[in-house]
Structure 1
């Protein structure tokens, strides 16, 4: 159930105000992982407890810096997390560790250089134009804009990955990803606490058929590309195919290339679609902010969309997106298992303790943000402390596609708001629910009137 926020505050997750039993925690995580966060976590630097196993929730930026940077190897991603994602994306950049991660990161980093990301901006503007055309055709009636944002971001990621290659069945891959996220992505309390793989996870069913079909389609597209020279602006497949580790000269094999491309597709389109959906919800919630985005975009546009060159000239639009990512971070919680004893916030961390960064609570912590539950884009006139804001993670494993995602979100959001006025549908507020990502349960229902 959505917590009824105070007037002027957008929807939020109802957090726990009293200790929960193991059974109650299990039930809560099956419905919404974030609902097990104690409300006190928004007012303290660290909260510890025991729910069958010792755990700690860390909201202190200095302690988080230690986890993600200074003592990174002591807090690896759990085996559960890896096994959850491995059926779809293999041992790719997202879940690899150690030397295998480092060489892939070095190889892929140039793919997301500023120049390459800017070269792909016309694909984003073209997808925004198709979205504008679809919305205009629907007319001013209630529409679930979560669905539309999923469509437009999948247009982008499939085009910049496979350049509209006819051998790539985008509808088939889209359906396989949705099935995988909705079923295999149901995180349980056992996952958060780092329980062994043999502990049963109720309600989890891996859709191996859809995942294998997705891999087969990607393999065929990669094989077809190898038989013809690259044309026009290189896409992500072209760039990864010719990429080499600058230290070893190693290139990605076809299976490594496939797994990393699927990582970009699965992670890239889902998270950006959510960012845009929450941003539209917030702008419908705050019409004054929406007017400011519209005026900013229209001052630059020559057609119906903004361009890559316009992105740096849209500072308020960027603030709206930063604020949406603060209030509704796609990865609302991450969990690690300590390999060895450590100390965080002056508190003992024992080997095998579960250490959680509840990013949702971090971003709403009263020690770090004024009026943390309020939508205030202008708070971004000043950047928060480095490890107080983690929509893309941080440290060596910060999201490699962050600049790509931000550019895409700014282009699409500014273009849509320049052409339509979005208003909320009464009684249809979304409910923030985290399964694998923080989604607006029930959809984002808005009316879009041409302006």
Structure 2
């Protein structure tokens, strides 16, 4: 199979980069710091200012994410980047502070609540299809379109579309923050103490402060008004409490978690959908097969929550897109104790990375790993648990995973029911990771009505 038979992928490093080379690469595309041997070995170690280890062995990953999760908290660099924007929310908090928030928020994403939100997803998919149809023969950037569509969903399920909260402004503020603050600092790579300021984060943090004030005011207004007939995400969070301690979230805790859900709840799904549409355009046979399934299941031309369970091949496309282009291409932990991973010594303070991008393309774990093959997921039980981690795993697995999958299947099925997607010559997407793995310059496709 030649390179032209494969969907786009990131060229990995074939030579040691050194500190400055690693910094330059990381600030341009974080995935380019990954050594090519990471897709052929179970573990790679080195030193770039601080000791680091990349693990691709499922048993070692299980140890880090499940068996010894308290010994491997999120890395200091990750916390330093995100804390100014989302505080000590579920994504960052550790130990008891994380556990009580997780217990309080878990019912929000129960199967019943997620299914109740399906009509919002179907309505957003329908509006997206209308916009695509209006574009006619013109190419559409489906990254922008999917960001808009999934943001429609998260806005409606968070605030019932009531218009009292400028969610667009929130998204712009956090996006601006991540664009600058999300870049790796030389101080991070050299292991300098957290209290030494990182200039970009100080400057970009000002706009986030204004955004937090807006969010606080919206929360207090809802607290005073009370919930509507059909509770939205904010209502459910306000009503949530730790079943063990009966503790509920105060305004700042609600705000930090709400902002986390708003950003993560649409960004990752938008990326998954954009990559899924690119892959369907890349492989027309897969697209044809998916459309046949959709047309045999849908009673109209918009997918509903009830259709999701009857669209296994659409789900397989989503799963394969998440394998090839995981939104979180690398997750990072800081070892707290001496340990052994793959018979290698781990010291306290070492950075332990799980490069999801390399794990999902590791030749020891996947057959022809760079190829687009949705049938890998025809039997999900045959996929090794810790070889496929688009949502992480262990107690810190993404709380909104079922929400994201349902949304992606509904929107993808709706679009495939109405259009045939084709690549635009000369406009291939370029996978680039700063904080998430995005198609640089968008995903440009044409959409032909079927």
**TM norm. shorter chain > 0.5:** yes
Residues 123 and 192 of structure 1: CA distance in aligned 2, closer, same or farther (over 3 Å): farther
Cα deviation, 1:309-360, whole Å, max 9, x if unaligned, reads: 1001110000000000000000001121211110001111112222111110
Pairwise CA distance, 1:138: 1.5
What corresponds to 1:146 in structure 2? 143
Pairwise CA distance, 1:199: 6.0
> With structure 2 as the length reference, what TM-score do the two structures score?
0.96
Pairwise CA distance, 1:212: 2.2
What corresponds to 1:448 in structure 2? 447
Aligned to 1:291, which of 275, 288, 291?
288
Out of 393-402 and 289-298, give the one that drifted further. Answer: 289-298
Residues 5 and 80 of structure 1: CA distance in aligned 2, closer, same or farther (over 3 Å): farther
1:53 to 2:12 alignment: no
Residues 180 and 377 of structure 1: CA distance in aligned 2, closer, same or farther (over 3 Å): same
Pairwise CA distance, 1:201: 5.3
Matches within 5 A, 1:46-195: 46-188=43-185, 191=188, 195=192
Residues 205 and 48 of structure 1: CA distance in aligned 2, closer, same or farther (over 3 Å): same
Residues 193 and 321 of structure 1: CA distance in aligned 2, closer, same or farther (over 3 Å): farther
Out of 428-437 and 288-297, give the one that drifted further. Answer: 288-297
Secondary structure of the 2:140 match is strand
Pairwise CA distance, 1:211: 1.2
1:35 to 2:32 alignment: yes
What corresponds to 1:352 in structure 2? 349
Number of residue equivalences:
448
Out of 113-122 and 413-422, give the one that drifted further. Answer: 413-422
Out of 130-139 and 57-66, give the one that drifted further. Answer: 130-139
Secondary structure of the 1:7 match is helix
Checking the alignment, whether the CA contact within 8 Å between 1:165 and 1:221 is kept in structure 2 is no
Q: RMSD of the TM alignment (CA)?
A: 1.7
Checking the alignment, whether the CA contact within 8 Å between 1:25 and 1:189 is kept in structure 2 is no
Pairwise CA distance, 1:170: 2.6
Matches within 5 A, 1:204-353: 206-353=203-350
Pairwise CA distance, 1:285: 0.3
Secondary structure of the 1:47 match is strand
Checking the alignment, whether the CA contact within 8 Å between 1:66 and 1:72 is kept in structure 2 is yes
Measure the CA separation in 2 of the matches of 1:76 and 1:192.
18
Structure 2: runs of 5 or more not aligned: none
Checking the alignment, whether the CA contact within 8 Å between 2:182 and 2:435 is kept in structure 1 is yes
Checking the alignment, whether the CA contact within 8 Å between 1:424 and 1:447 is kept in structure 2 is yes
> With structure 1 as the length reference, what TM-score do the two structures score?
0.96
Checking the alignment, whether the CA contact within 8 Å between 1:33 and 1:188 is kept in structure 2 is no
Pairwise CA distance, 1:361: 0.3
Out of 212-221 and 197-206, give the one that drifted further. Answer: 197-206
Measure the CA separation in 1 of the matches of 2:52 and 2:145.
39
Checking the alignment, whether the CA contact within 8 Å between 1:5 and 1:11 is kept in structure 2 is no
Residues 320 and 195 of structure 1: CA distance in aligned 2, closer, same or farther (over 3 Å): farther
Cα deviation, 1:401-442, whole Å, max 9, x if unaligned, reads: 000000001101110111111101111111111100001011
Pairwise CA distance, 1:195: 4.4
Aligned to 2:363, which of 361, 366, 372?
366
What corresponds to 1:430 in structure 2? 429
Measure the CA separation in 1 of the matches of 2:342 and 2:76.
26
Cα deviation, 1:75-114, whole Å, max 9, x if unaligned, reads: 1112221121111111111101111100000000011000
Checking the alignment, whether the CA contact within 8 Å between 1:78 and 1:194 is kept in structure 2 is no
Cα deviation, 1:145-194, whole Å, max 9, x if unaligned, reads: 11001100100011101111221113222321321222222234654675
Residues 56 and 26 of structure 1: CA distance in aligned 2, closer, same or farther (over 3 Å): same
Pairwise CA distance, 1:244: 1.2
Residues 135 and 65 of structure 1: CA distance in aligned 2, closer, same or farther (over 3 Å): same
What corresponds to 1:388 in structure 2? 387
Pairwise CA distance, 1:302: 2.7
Measure the CA separation in 1 of the matches of 2:248 and 2:198.
37
Measure the CA separation in 2 of the matches of 1:58 and 1:226.
45
Measure the CA separation in 1 of the matches of 2:358 and 2:186.
17
Measure the CA separation in 2 of the matches of 1:88 and 1:423.
38
Out of 229-238 and 332-341, give the one that drifted further. Answer: 229-238
Measure the CA separation in 1 of the matches of 2:198 and 2:257.
27
Out of 355-364 and 77-86, give the one that drifted further. Answer: 77-86
Cα deviation, 1:353-393, whole Å, max 9, x if unaligned, reads: 22111110000000100000000000112331111111100
Residues 373 and 186 of structure 1: CA distance in aligned 2, closer, same or farther (over 3 Å): same
Out of 319-328 and 189-198, give the one that drifted further. Answer: 189-198
Measure the CA separation in 2 of the matches of 1:7 and 1:381.
25
